[in-house]
């Protein structure tokens, strides 16, 4: 399966935003979002829209340094949203972001939170998957079905795997459980995918840094589930199947998921 390129990811931001907007048509935006405690549907939509505008500012201005993201999570004032207002506003933010990305192109230099990664391609990928996962949050809150294209879900999982290779995810520290060690390997296997999808991964924690690959092989713990469920599982979201089938060292799997998700709690 070929990973989605820059142009496809730009288009996918539009697609995921349109699907998100469709999920909330006729929904009560005051309904709580169980996977985002303390937020209702309207507040979730504002968070996504502000995330798009934050990334748009970084790309449009070619910012070489961080831009404040305080507004993304400061959604307390949006408790009483109207679909007729927030829906078009959300779509507008996605269009602004896509326009900025296309204008910059993947060869421009902009700030990202990942050392050594300075391309707008990072933001095209990050905002695609940010929108996709929050679409799952909205779908559950609105009581509608969530589905995602295989190549998008695969790329989202591989983005998560890459986050597991930054020092915050594995470096030892006071009060932080050690992640690396002898015999520590994990395998993730998506079930029900199309032939040739190769939707399986192996994470090796036995060296100095975590290494992930599309390899098959024995592992200390194996997690198997439909592709969309695997994606939601690593993000700590409820899944239709109640979570993956886990064989082996379940505690290692939970530790890896918690440590690789450090950025969700920042």
- Tens digits of residue pLDDT in 215-246: 998 999 999 999 999 999 999 998 888 889 99
pLDDT, mean of residues 29-53: 97
pLDDT for residue 175 is more than 90:
no
- Tens digits of residue pLDDT in 64-95: 999 999 988 899 999 999 999 999 999 999 99
Per-residue confidence (pLDDT) for residue 129, from 0 to 100: 98
Alpha-carbon distances of 159 from 131, 181, 191, rounded to whole Å: 14, 23, 19
pLDDT for residue 6 is more than 80:
yes
Share of the chain above pLDDT 90, in %: 85
* DSSP string covering 128-180: HHHHHHHHHHHHHHHT------HHHHHHHHHHHHHHTTSHHHH--BTTB----
Q: Contact, 67 vs 54, CB < 8 A?
A: yes
pLDDT for residue 266 is more than 80:
no
Domain end point (choices 129, 146, 163): 146
Shared domain check, 141 and 70: yes
- Does any domain span residue 48? yes
- The CATH number of whichever domain residue 104 belongs to comes to 1.20.120.450
**What is the length of the chain?**
266
Structure tokens at 154: 């695969």
Share of the chain above pLDDT 70, in %: 99
- Does any domain span residue 1? no
Shared domain check, 118 and 16: yes
Please name the residues in contact with 23: beta carbons below 8 A apart, sequence gap of 6 or more. 135, 138, 139, 142, 144
Number of other residues whose CB lies within 10 A of the CB of residue 38: 9
Domain of 120 in residue numbering reads as: 6-146
Q: Which residue has the higher pLDDT, 129 or 72?
A: 129
pLDDT, mean of residues 193-199: 84
- The CATH number of whichever domain residue 189 belongs to comes to 3.30.1050.10
Per-residue confidence (pLDDT) for residue 228, from 0 to 100: 95
Q: What is the DSSP letter of 115?
A: T
Shared domain check, 158 and 231: yes
Three-class secondary structure of residue 84 per DSSP: helix
- Tens digits of residue pLDDT in 147-172: 999 999 999 999 999 999 999 899 98
pLDDT for residue 139 is more than 90:
yes
- Does any domain span residue 241? yes
Beta bridge partners of 147: none
pLDDT for residue 265 is more than 80:
no
Per-residue confidence (pLDDT) for residue 91, from 0 to 100: 97
- Does any domain span residue 181? yes
Structure tokens at 147: 């589905």
Per-residue confidence (pLDDT) for residue 72, from 0 to 100: 85
Kind and range of the H or E run holding 212: strand 211-213
Q: How many helices (H) and strands (E) does the chain have?
A: 9, 5
- Does any domain span residue 200? yes
Please name the residues in contact with 193: beta carbons below 8 A apart, sequence gap of 6 or more. 150, 199, 227
Shared domain check, 201 and 115: no
- Does any domain span residue 136? yes
């Amino acid at each position: 399966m070929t990973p989605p390129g820059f142009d496809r990811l730009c288009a996918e931001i539009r697609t995921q935003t349109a699907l998100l907007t469709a999920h909330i048509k006729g929904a009560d935006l005051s309904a709580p979002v169980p996977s985002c405690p303390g937020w209702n549907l309207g507040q979730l939509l504002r968070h996504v829209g502000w995330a798009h505008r934050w990334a748009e500012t970084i790309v449009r201005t070619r910012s070489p340094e961080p831009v404040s993201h305080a507004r993304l999570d400061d959604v307390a004032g949006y408790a009483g949203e109207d679909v007729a207002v927030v829906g078009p506003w959300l779509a507008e933010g996605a269009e602004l972001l896509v326009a900025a990305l296309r204008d910059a192109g993947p060869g421009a230099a902009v700030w990202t939170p990942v050392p050594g990664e300075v391309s707008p391609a990072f933001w095209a990928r990050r905002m695609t998957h940010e929108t996709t996962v929050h679409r799952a949050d909205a779908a559950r809150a609105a009581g509608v079905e969530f589905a995602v294209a295989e190549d998008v879900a695969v790329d989202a999982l591989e983005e998560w795997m890459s986050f597991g290779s930054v020092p915050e995810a594995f470096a030892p520290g006071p009060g932080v459980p050690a992640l690396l060690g002898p015999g520590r390997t994990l395998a993730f296997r998506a079930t029900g995918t199309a032939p040739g999808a190769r939707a399986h991964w192996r994470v090796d924690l036995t060296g100095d840094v975590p290494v992930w690959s599309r390899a098959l092989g024995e592992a200390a713990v194996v997690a198997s589930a439909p592709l969309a469920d695997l994606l939601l599982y690593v993000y700590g979201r409820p899944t239709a199947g109640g979570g993956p089938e886990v064989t082996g060292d379940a505690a290692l799997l939970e530790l890896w998921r918690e440590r690789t998700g450090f950025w969700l709690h920042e």
